[in-house]
Amino acid sequence: MRVAIVSRCESRSLFIIRQVVKRWPDHLVVRPVRAPSTTSESRSERIRRRVRKLTRHPIQTVANRLEGAAHAFYHWYEGDIDQQITQLLFDSTEPPEFDMNCVDVPWREINSEVTERRIREFSPDVLLVCVAPILRPNIFTIPPHGTINVHHGLVPFYRGEHTLFWPLYYREYDQVGVTVHYVDEGVDTGKVLACGCPEIRQEDNEASVTARSTRLAVRLTCDVLAAAQWGPLPGLQQSREDGREFRHRQRTGWKELWYLLQRDVIGHRPFPLIERSESHFARSDDEPNSDIELEQAILSQVHEMRREIESCRPSGHVGDSLSPDASTDSSSASEAHG
């Protein structure tokens, strides 16, 4: 199967992409990159401009400076969290060397004709999206088996950006999770293929929750891609009216400070939860929807054959004990201790 991937390739996305590429080596990574900011203003000109603002609008200028300080704190905090995530995922402060078939595209040109032509020339069966700009129909309709997004949040409750931070901020710990879904014209509104919630521990912070969610996302994504190689999947339609959508600008330094105050000063820590997941991509009740469930189905058939053999043996013979089979119902939630 040929897999095209659109991603910023930061630590958590890179961890997922490396596992996908190991399994489906015929790949193309399209990496959106932001152009560096350019300014011709000298330091003295910048100081004079700020003095003029302060003399004309002193109150507004002071308020803007305070907001700027909070914004600077947010960027420092975000960088520290990213470093912790990298350490937890790769056991190093730096991610591994990027050695994939990659094409860099300017951020604002991700939906351009040039990008569209490059993806069409690769002719992917599936397009995988992992932390990337919003794609338009000319891009996400290219692959015949669909475009699949790995969303670090539970839909429809948390759509948009920073959707692992916000449930921690609002202390809705049972809604911390990841979703693998089809891409449509909305923001995280496509049909859900799989979703899951990581194990939550009382000492967790945003970095540890993100790292554990990323490892869960790898398993769910590989299961979905294994099923998608045979064609489009049905999925579970989600309601567009329910839930919330968060924008990048909503996460400010003041929000970071309030979250840290709740966690480290007031003592609002997460309550423990076990890992759980569910899938919604089986094409029929009798068809396994992942490699794991295919293995379980085969084991179930083997156990059934063994039971038939045991029934044909003399009554004095004691057969081997059999362990109960795992359910293959794609709509039920599976639970496992992390």
Read off the pLDDT of residues 72-86 as tens digits, 9 standing for 90 and up.
Answer: 766 677 888 899 999
More confident residue, 54 or 12: 12
Tell me the percentage of the chain whose pLDDT exceeds 70.
76
- Contact (CB, 8 A) for 150 and 180: yes
Residue range of the domain that includes 318:
291-323
Residue 141 has pLDDT above 50, yes or no: yes
Number of H-type helices and E-type strands within the chain: 9, 11
Token representation of residue 241 = 């009216």
Q: How far apart are CA 219 and CA 47, in angstroms?
A: 52
Q: What is the pLDDT of residue 168?
A: 94
**Do you find a cis peptide bond into 156, omega within 30 degrees of 0?**
yes
Residues 272, 296, single domain; the answer is: no
**C-alpha 35 chain-centroid distance:** 24
Region 17-24 average pLDDT: 95
Residues 188, 318, single domain; the answer is: no
- For residue 77, give the nearest of 215, 173, 205 by alpha carbon: 205
Q: Name the least confident of 92-96, 108-112, 303-307.
A: 303-307
Residue 76 lies in a domain: yes
Token representation of residue 97 = 């060397």
Question: DSSP state, 327?
Answer: P
Three-state DSSP class for residue 39: coil
Bridge-based pairing state of the strands 275-279 and 244-246? unpaired
Token representation of residue 270 = 């997460």
**DSSP letter for each residue of 55-71:** HH-HHHHHHHHHHHHHH
Q: What is the pLDDT of residue 34?
A: 85
Q: 119: how many CB neighbours lie within 10 A of its CB? A: 21
Residue 40 lies in a domain: no
Residues 85, 231, single domain; the answer is: yes
Confidence of residue 241 (pLDDT cuts 50, 70, 90): confident
Q: Name the least confident of 18-22, 166-170, 227-231, 330-334.
A: 330-334
In the chain the first and final C-alpha atoms are separated, in Å, by 31
- What total number of domains does the chain contain? 2
Residues 268, 303, single domain; the answer is: no
What is the pTM assigned to this prediction? 0.75
Confidence of residue 320 (pLDDT cuts 50, 70, 90): very low
Region 136-159 average pLDDT: 96
